[in-house]
Amino acid sequence: MTSNSMSDPRRQNKILRYKPPSTDSNPTLEDPTPDYMNLLGMIFSMCGLMLKLKWCAWIAVYCSFISFANSRSSEDTKQMMSSFMLSISAVVMSYLQNPQPMSPPW
C-alpha cells in the first residue's frame, strides 16, 4: 500500500470542524413541536376530565408522548411530566366513571 499522506488530495489547512449553529443567535432553529403538543395535551386532558370524553383523554396521552419524544434533555421536565400525569389521570377518571369500552363514532 502506498502512503496515504502523499496521495491524499485534501488540503489540511482548509479542513474545518463542523460546529452546530447556536440557538441563541438564531432562535428560529428551535423546534416548537414539543410546546404545541404539551399545550394540546393539557387542553385535551381537561376536556377529557370535564366533559368525560374518553377519546379526548386518549388524544391527550398521545400528545404527551409526542411532546416527550420531541423534547430536548436540557428542557425543564416538570411541565412535561405534569401534562403526562394529567392526561393519564384523565384516562383513568373517564374509565372509572364509565368502565364501558369506548364506542366508535360511526
Its domain, for residue 44, covers 32-70
At 100, the pLDDT band (50, 70, 90 cuts) reads confident
Does the structure show a pLDDT above 80 at 21?
A: no
Does the structure show a pLDDT above 90 at 90?
A: yes
Task: Specify if 95 maps to a domain.
Answer: no
Task: Specify if 100 maps to a domain.
Answer: no
- Return the pLDDT at 59: 96
Q: Are 67 and 37 in contact (CB under 8 A)?
A: yes
User: Terminal CA-to-CA distance of the chain, rounded, Å?
Assistant: 71
Does the structure show a pLDDT above 60 at 2?
A: no
Question: How confident is the prediction for the chain on average, in pLDDT?
Answer: 84
Count of domains observed in the chain: 1
Give the mean pLDDT of 65-92. 87
- Return the pLDDT at 5: 60
Task: Specify if 9 maps to a domain.
Answer: no
